[in-house]
Amino acid sequence: MTAATLWVLLALLPAGHDRPPVMVIERFATQAECLDVLAVFPPTTRVTFDCMPSRQIRAGAPTTENRPL
């Protein structure tokens, strides 16, 4: 088992009283809000933090696939 596989399996474990979550994913309205949260952590803190763009889902016209007959 590789280290990456082990990390993924550990990331799926729920957090407990003695163990913080391995991965937390949050969404922000803007990249500026994300960077504001990143600024809270001191440079010496061991944290991996990425501000990645999220996919925008646009509401389109309803499809006819699931329309009742």
pLDDT in tens, 21-58: 666 777 788 888 888 887 887 878 777 777 777 665 45
Is residue 22 within 8 Å of residue 11, measured between CB atoms?
yes
Buried b (16+ CB within 10 A) or exposed e, 9-43: eeeeeeeeeeeeeeeeeeeeeeeeebeeeeeeeee
Return phi, psi of residue 34, to 5°.
Answer: -65, -45
- Amino acid 3 reads A
pTM: 0.41
More confident residue, 11 or 40: 40
Delimit the domains of the chain by residue range: 20-45
Q: Is the pLDDT of residue 65 over 70?
A: no
So what's the pLDDT on residue 50?
76
More confident residue, 18 or 53: 18
